[in-house]
Amino acid sequence: MTTLPPLPMIHPKLTSIARQKLPCLPKTLARAQLIKGKDDIDSYLEANFKGLSKEEVAAYRNSYKKNICVDMLQEGYHKSFTELFALMERWDVLREAARLRSIFWLQKPLEEQPDKLDHFYHYLTRAETAERKGYLEDVYNNLHALACYFNNPEDKWVRNHFYERCFKIAQLIKIDGGKKEADAHAHMGLLYEEDGQLLEAAKHYEAFHQLTQGRIWKDETGRFLNLLACENLLRIYRFLSDKMLENKEYKQAIKILIKASEIAKEGNDKKMEGEACYYLGSAYLAAGEEKTALTVLNTCIKISKDLDDELSLGRAYEATAKVLQSQGEMTEAITCLKKVLKIARNNSQSLDIVRASTMLGDIYNEKGHYNNASEYFQQAFETMEELKNMPLMEETKVHYGIAKAHQLMQTINNYIETADTTSLDYLLSWKESRSNIAFDAIIASGDNLVPRIAVSLWCNRLAHLAVNRKACNNAVTTAVHKYFIYKIYPPLGLIQKIYKLKASL
């Protein structure tokens, strides 16, 4: 949205006087002494304000807002006065409502903001003059200038009011081929999008796109309006598809994303086309159509490589890895995820590192490669520690604990199966003291693990997570119960067998 440069305002007579801030009389002089009656006005003016009329004195005494309104009426701008008065009333109502909701309401009253009042007077009166002469384009331009001026968070309702007025005027303009109407549809789409009314926003963006097809119109920044229309439609279709996917309306989501992909191709913008392919591929994956998803995502990867867009490429590789994982192609999924990790590290994308590391840890955990799983879960945990994101850090901590427990379980099982004196001594020592256990060279990589931390600490975390299950995924909690409770602690009967076996050796 463009912000117009400040214009040299031509102030009407009364407001010009009010802005001069004439010197006030001494504060010790009571107001009752100034004007005791109607007959004293002339003598008072002659003594204190020589050369000024009653109107000019009133202009100095009145508020700036009142002077603006009086000037509008005196100049014959009755429509402008009516609109401004309605806006000022709504301004006061909204301000009072906000004051009741929060003691931190800091917006000034309108009468304390003369620049805004000046803009109201300047553009509303010009728009009314143009309307009387039948110059609808000038009416649109002046109302649009007001909308741009009030494009800030606290005054958005004023901006929206003038966008709606622009839309009504634009529908009456026929001599520009529909450019003003297209511009108005774009603004109305933005208005509804910000309000969360996505379907209404889509209707306006579709009209915007239709009106700009085959045109070479540009906005104030030099961008083609048709390309802007394609971007707006792609964005709103993505938001709509997200809602549909949440409701498991897969067919509708895919249908609207196919439409978005076609619009992206029409815009001749490869980056936009790549984004459309990514979202479409993700929708196919959610619908369980892995083969189609893989085909679409490969197109996204190709476009990202052609554009040398590493961030989009990493995102496409991550989605492809999910598809391959769902198909059971774990080796190919690992290859994709390692590419994601490399790209994320090169571009300092911490959250991408966490997601890719966690996915790699899950895959290695399923394959029984617990050392690799522990390594990647550790990367995810350490990255989350740097980010200070507590909810995600809790989840990665649980994943890391599971992998450590699996390492410990494998070593203990190996010692039990070996059943020699040294192995049994290690097992009994660990069972009695929970101190370090010597890891088998075949099973473990030789890193110095502390089973007491790997078991006791993580079981304590399990107790916390059982109370507050929002801290991690239900599936993770179930896995913790399974691996920590049923696999790490050998049953009493097994311990007794170990003692008997040791005694017989």
User: What secondary structure does DSSP assign to 357-390, as a single string?
Assistant: HHHHHHHHHHHT-HHHHHHHHHHHHHHHHHHT-H
Residue 469 CB contacts under 8 Å (≥ 6 apart), including other chains? 477
Q: Is residue 410 part of a domain?
A: yes
Please indicate, yes or no, whether residues 505 and 388 belong to a single structural domain of this protein. Answer: yes
Q: Is residue 304 part of a domain?
A: yes
List the structure tokens of 489: 């602690």
Please indicate, yes or no, whether residues 399 and 488 belong to a single structural domain of this protein. Answer: yes
- How far, in whole angstroms, is CA 386 from its chain's centroid? 22
- Confidence at 66, pLDDT banded by 50, 70, 90: confident
- Please state the rounded mean pLDDT for residues 490-496: 45
For residue 307, with 0-12 CB atoms within 10 Å meaning exposed, 13-18 middle and 19 or more buried, which class applies? Answer: middle
Q: What are phi and psi of 151, to 5 degrees?
A: -85, 70
Among 81, 96, 91, which Cα is nearest to 155's? 91
Rounded to whole angstroms, the Cα distance separating 390 from 274 reads: 33
Check residues 126 and 476 and name the one with the higher pLDDT.
126
Rounded to whole angstroms, the Cα distance separating 251 from 216 reads: 35
Check residues 456 and 419 and name the one with the higher pLDDT.
419
Torsion sign over Cα 330, 332, 336, 341: positive
Check residues 482 and 189 and name the one with the higher pLDDT.
189
List the structure tokens of 289: 């159509």
Q: Is residue 31 part of a domain?
A: no
The percent of residues in the chain predicted with pLDDT above 90, rounded, is 44
Q: What are phi and psi of 224, to 5 degrees?
A: -70, 135
Domain with residue 332: its CATH number is 1.25.40.10
Instruction: Specify the pLDDT at position 43.
Output: 61
Q: Is residue 358 part of a domain?
A: yes
- Confidence at 188, pLDDT banded by 50, 70, 90: very high
Single out the residue in 330, 348, 366 at which a domain terminates: 348
Is the pLDDT assigned to residue 129 strictly greater than 70? yes
Q: What are phi and psi of 472, to 5 degrees?
A: -150, 170
Please indicate, yes or no, whether residues 335 and 462 belong to a single structural domain of this protein. Answer: no
Please indicate, yes or no, whether residues 427 and 471 belong to a single structural domain of this protein. Answer: yes
- How far, in whole angstroms, is CA 426 from its chain's centroid? 54
- Confidence at 102, pLDDT banded by 50, 70, 90: low
List the structure tokens of 459: 């079981």
Single out the residue in 324, 348, 372 at which a domain terminates: 348
For residue 431, with 0-12 CB atoms within 10 Å meaning exposed, 13-18 middle and 19 or more buried, which class applies? Answer: middle
Q: Could you give the residue ranges of the DSSP H alpha helices within 388-446? A: 390-418, 421-433
- Please state the rounded mean pLDDT for residues 147-166: 92
Q: Is residue 384 part of a domain?
A: yes
- Confidence at 11, pLDDT banded by 50, 70, 90: low
- Confidence at 16, pLDDT banded by 50, 70, 90: low
Residue 113 CB contacts under 8 Å (≥ 6 apart), including other chains? none
Please indicate, yes or no, whether residues 364 and 461 belong to a single structural domain of this protein. Answer: yes
Rounded to whole angstroms, the Cα distance separating 101 from 80 reads: 32
Among 143, 11, 10, 13, which Cα is nearest to 74's? 13
Please provide the average confidence, as pLDDT, over all residues in the chain. Answer: 78
Q: Is residue 137 part of a domain?
A: no
Calculate Rg over the CA atoms of the chain.
36
Please indicate, yes or no, whether residues 316 and 402 belong to a single structural domain of this protein. Answer: no
Rounded to whole angstroms, the Cα distance separating 37 from 53 reads: 17
Q: Using one digit for the tens of pLDDT, what is the confidence trace for 216-267?
A: 998 888 889 999 999 999 999 999 999 999 999 999 999 999 999 999 988 7
Instruction: Specify the pLDDT at position 41.
Output: 54
Q: Is residue 135 part of a domain?
A: no
Q: Using one digit for the tens of pLDDT, what is the confidence trace for 327-347?
A: 989 999 999 999 999 999 999
CA angle 389, 393, 397 (to 5 degrees): 170
Among 308, 306, 231, which Cα is nearest to 275's? 231
Check residues 429 and 115 and name the one with the higher pLDDT.
115
Please indicate, yes or no, whether residues 432 and 302 belong to a single structural domain of this protein. Answer: no
Q: Using one digit for the tens of pLDDT, what is the confidence trace for 407-452?
A: 777 777 777 777 777 777 777 777 777 655 555 443 333 333 333 3
Q: Are 316 and 304 in contact (CB under 8 A)?
A: yes
Is the pLDDT assigned to residue 459 strictly greater than 90? no
| DSSP summary character for residue 308 | T
Domain that holds residue 340: 277-348
Please indicate, yes or no, whether residues 423 and 383 belong to a single structural domain of this protein. Answer: yes
Compute CA distances 454 → 282, 405, 429, 433, 458, whole Å.
37, 6, 16, 14, 6
Please indicate, yes or no, whether residues 356 and 423 belong to a single structural domain of this protein. Answer: yes
Check residues 33 and 96 and name the one with the higher pLDDT.
96
Single out the residue in 293, 318, 348 at which a domain terminates: 348
- Confidence at 394, pLDDT banded by 50, 70, 90: confident
Please indicate, yes or no, whether residues 333 and 383 belong to a single structural domain of this protein. Answer: no
Compute CA distances 66 → 8, 22, 88, 95, whole Å.
21, 17, 11, 19
Instruction: Specify the pLDDT at position 405.
Output: 78
Q: Are 256 and 241 in contact (CB under 8 A)?
A: yes
Please indicate, yes or no, whether residues 341 and 457 belong to a single structural domain of this protein. Answer: no
| DSSP summary character for residue 100 | H
* Number of domains composing the chain: 2
Q: What are phi and psi of 218, to 5 degrees?
A: -130, 155
Rounded to whole angstroms, the Cα distance separating 168 from 136 reads: 11
Please indicate, yes or no, whether residues 364 and 439 belong to a single structural domain of this protein. Answer: yes
Q: Is residue 8 part of a domain?
A: no
Rounded to whole angstroms, the Cα distance separating 281 from 469 reads: 32
Check residues 135 and 43 and name the one with the higher pLDDT.
135
